[in-house]
Amino acid sequence: MLLRCRVPLATFELDVDVSFDSRVTAIFGPSGSGKTTLLDAIAGLRTIAAGEIEIGGKTLFSSARKINLPPQQRNLGYVPQEGALFPHLSVRRNILFGSERVSDGAGPMSMSMEHVLEILEITHLLHRSVTALSGGEAQRVALARAILSRPQLLLLDEPLAALDIGLKEKILPYLARVRDEFAIPMIYVTHNVTEVLSLADWVLMIRSGRLVTQGPPGETLTSSRALRAMPEEELENVLTVEFIEADKGAGRSRVRLPSGAEIFVPYLSTPARRNFQIRVRADDILIGTQRPEGISAANILPGTVRAVETIEDQALVRVDAGEIFCVRITAGAVTQLALGAGSDVFLIIKTRSFQLL
């Protein structure tokens, strides 16, 4: 996708010039950075002063060539923050509205309404009024409507922003299913690091209308450029794990990382899916140069330091413990422990430091 656009705004000018090719591209940045404006420009809902937008070889906008396709001709699916369902229609009619507007030859022909409903687990909602839906149900219905329009690109504008933490954690797996099940590229706007790391394989980080950095999320969001633009509490590690067993008495469950290493996370009964994601903040991981003994933390992972980057009084340490963990400690701790590339270390992580997604 080619995305080159300049849009004057009240306090700054959005000016982005990027190209990328990925399943899910996240547009990430703080509120007011121009993320939604950029998404609206792609959708044809915002006037662009100059630039060019091209998707899959199709030009949607070109100021030089005087091309500006109207929104209905761009074949894009759009899911806004609040879902924007039609209150006078049932869930079924809202969903069918998407498929009824499909032009011949648009999107993947194998997609069926039954399959989409099954993936999003909303078949039982078909006869309800949309006014009787919870926030999470409404977002899944809006997502189904967009998917069934068989778009060449799915645009999602902070679809979890209006949901509380509990609902966010329930909806994230559905978004991952959409990513994995349907061959529809997605552009996902968010200011949440966890959502980027959970869903995206490419991220564009913008701030005040300018591109800060771009690339694979795990590397990009722990770069010095990103760290200088992010609040400290936002640096996280997101890991995919396999459930092994639960121990209710001990208040924990045992899971396996892709590397084969086993760790303990907070207790959960047998999950609906054997594989799921967990997260841990970079500030909640301790580093030792010797294996600790007589401590309460259940997770002690041997590893090797791959890189150390110092930014003012803090340092980001990347440790290979079968998986790459990003750990944030003070610059003084790096000096005290004599850490550098190749150092053998142990990561110490409390069970309750892991959060389940």
- Gap between the Cα atoms of 139 and 80, Å rounded: 9
Give CA torsion, residues 208, 229, 169, 23, to 10 deg: 70
Would you state the pLDDT for residue 311? 83
Place 19 in a pLDDT band, splitting at 50, 70 and 90: very high
Taking residues 99-109, report their average pLDDT.
54
pLDDT at residue 274 in the model: 83
Across all residues in the chain, what is the average pLDDT? 89
Residue of 109, 82, 108, 83 whose CA lies nearest to 97: 83
Question: Does residue 339 contact residue 316 with C-beta atoms inside 8 Å?
Answer: no
For residue 330, how many C-alpha atoms fall within 13 Å in the half-sphere facing its CB?
A: 3
What pLDDT, in 10s, does the model give residues 153-172?
Answer: 999 999 888 777 777 777 88
Kindly state the percentage of the chain with pLDDT values over 90: 62
Confidence of residue 307 (pLDDT cuts 50, 70, 90): very high
Neighbours of 339 (CB within 10 A): 20
Compute the average pLDDT of residues 270-281: 84
Q: How far apart are CA 180 and CA 187, in angstroms?
A: 14
Residues 311 and 313: their CA atoms lie apart, in Å, by 6
Question: Which pLDDT score, from 0 to 100, does residue 232 have?
Answer: 57
Q: What pLDDT does 233 receive?
A: 54
pLDDT band at 83 (very low <50, low <70, confident <90, very high): low
In one-letter notation, the amino acid at residue 152 is Q
Sequence-distant (6+) residues with CB within 8 A of 226 are: 205, 212, 213, 220
Nearest to 313 by CA among 238, 249, 246, 227: 227
The pTM of this model reads 0.79
pLDDT value for 126: 94
Q: What percent of the chain has pLDDT over 70?
A: 95
- Domains of the chain, each with CATH number or no CATH: 2-228 (3.40.50.300), 271-356 (2.40.50.100)
Instruction: Output the CA torsion sign for 79, 220, 224, 42.
Output: negative
The predicted structure's pLDDT at residue 101: 58
